[in-house]
Amino acid sequence: MKNPLLVDFSTPFATLPFEQIKTADFLPAIEHEIDATLKEIELICTNPAEPTFENTLEAIEKSGAKLGVISGALFNLNSSETSTELQEITLKAAPLLTKLQNDIRLNAVLFERIKTVFEGNTDALSTEQKTLLEKEYKSFVRNGALLKEEAKITLREIDQQLAKLSLNFGEHVLADTNAFSLHIRNEDELRGLPQSAISMAKQMAEAKNLDGWLFTLDYPSYVPFMTYAENRELRQQMSKAFGQRGFQQNENNNEETILSIVQLKHQRASLLGYESHAAFVLEERMAKDEETVVAFLNDLKEKSYPKAKEEWEEILEYGKDRLGYTEVNKWDTSFISEKIKQERFAFNEEELKPYFSLPKVLKGLFKIVEKLYGLSFEINPKIEVYHPDVLPYEVKKNGKFHAVLYADFHPREGKRNGAWMTSYRSQSKDQRPHISIVCNFSPSTKDTPALLSFNEVTTLFHEFGHALHGMLANTTYGALSGTSVSWDFVELPSQVLENWCYQPEALALFAQHYLTDELIPQSYIEKIVKAGQFQQGLQTLRQLSFGFLDLSWHGKNGPSITSVKEHETRIMQPFQFSEDSPESCMSTAFSHIFQGGYSAGYYSYKWAEVLDADAFELFLENGIFDTKTAQSFHDNILSKGGTEHPMKLYKRFRGKEPNPEALLKRAGLVV
């Protein structure tokens, strides 16, 4: 039988034939396509014609297309539906793919052709073509094209090691996450927990053929437990288990993995002539350098710290006066914060959940997107999926096919924690994209559909904003399409869409009671809006601490760090008011920066918040469903990808550079 990955897909819109693919198909398919890609590169290198944009840059851009689909599917599945076999295959494939990238980027003949075009007359090229040319030239230089042969060999070795280590890091976090569960048999220990959390825990226990209730470290189970469970000892037990992921004395310990990753990234940057990995990364970001990022984060710290301290004093006072706690630990803060919020706003997240059933929220979200951008979504059962939970949507614009969207919403053992958007096929001139959003939302129970917390609602909108960036892409070249933008710009489309969750006009489209279809009461909407600023000082400080921690690992002093825990404590303590727990460590499970693409880039969440707050002010001025404003956001941001410098695109939409005051006002940190 032919390998299903190596033939043309006879599926709707050439989607991946998931039902036909076996895990064992991936490695031979990748090996085959690596050979095919190298032959394509060889043809470019041996072309006797004078190098031109068309016969060099466009040819490179088209090479390896099939390999990109196959390898993309492998890595996506390794995050969303992994297994021991798939992890082993991924570990074997990663170094092969890294070697291929090195073989291409360190190909002297190929680089000379690019350099000839880059240094030649480019007046006839379009803006997008000039961007692609500059991006490719820089990419080769930043990946060692100018190095001497001995240094190129060292670079290859470093990249091979990094590819393996980042995969190991993620596997360790997932293994520790799956290894822990809290099995409760005494119903008294459930005091304070909402019925939705209890029902979900009961269902999870039954699935394991256990009596009682089962709680895990997956967010839909962990977060409600830490927020509502009155049993302080059990909250401590859950908190410690969460904080120990990758930090226990077992085969999943990530401490040495982190130190190795940091050393290798620094070595790589030094080899290429940079002071640090952060300097290497930030050169291609809007922020440009570490000094700019530090100044940005410090400015927000200065403005948020007084408010955060005030909020912490309130938590301390409540814990001591109302609950009799002699000290407040980190397993107490969510619990106390929820008590304060309920009293201040008569606001209980659980009261909101019946108004946020996943089917109704999805339907409303689709309506919002249709109003703004003219997209429609319909399940197409002919599109094959990688797990029965996945919903395959055919996306249309003006009645014509525009994209495929895979939606995967609930936790499974083979899925890593968190939420993310990715693609199985990128958009280019004659090709529409296949986009995926993966989340870990509260699942349905025997009695109710999946009822989302408000935080889960905003997460859905966030990931859908990323998905729009992919689905509405309209560029010539896939390398510049969709989310292929500066990393500190990539969060703008996602974070700007979250704003609709707080608008009464938008809530009316999706916040309906799952039993009665009753619209969410206006009083609840007012509470949501007011609660949106609740403890924003502490929330901001927390995000800033992650940004500083990230920079500290990847800055010039990163290689001198010898103790993961001691270093983390030193960096994080100025941002924290509770005592540090010696048994917990954030870094050992900080997948964003050690497994994902956020190394030296975690600050971008706050950076993009400035952009999104400023951008949404224009929607507020003109109306949140104003078609002219939406069209401008589509034309200048969503469809353009990385075809131009992000600030040029932003200013074209907004008419000016972003004003940080918009974010501070929205968060209630300034009047």
**Where does residue 3 rank: exposed (0-12), middle (13-18), buried (19+ CB within 10 A)?**
middle
Within 10 A of 563 (CB to CB), how many other CB atoms are there? Answer: 11
**Helical residues (DSSP H) of 283-375, grouped into ranges:** 290-323, 330-345, 349-352, 358-373
Q: Which residues are catalytic?
A: 463
Q: Which two tokens stand for residue 500?
A: 């609709």
CA angle 53, 54, 59 (to 5 degrees): 105
CB atoms within 10 A of CB 393: 21
CB atoms inside a 10 Å sphere around CB 139: 16
Q: Report the alpha-carbon distance of residue 578 to residue 332 in Å, rounded.
A: 10
Residue type, 567: H
Number of CB atoms found within 10 A of residue 299's CB = 12
Q: Return the exposure string of 421-442: e unless at least 16 CB atoms fall within 10 Å of the residue's CB, then b.
A: bbbbbbbbeeebbbbbbbbbbb
Q: Decide the pairing of beta strands 434-438 and 420-425.
A: antiparallel
Tell me the residue type at 76: N
Handedness of CA 561, 586, 238, 438 (dihedral sign): negative
Q: What tokens does 67 get?
A: 């390999």
Cα–Cα distance measured from residue 262 to residue 236, given in angstroms and rounded to the nearest whole number: 31
Q: How far, in whole angstroms, is CA 406 from its chain's centroid?
A: 16
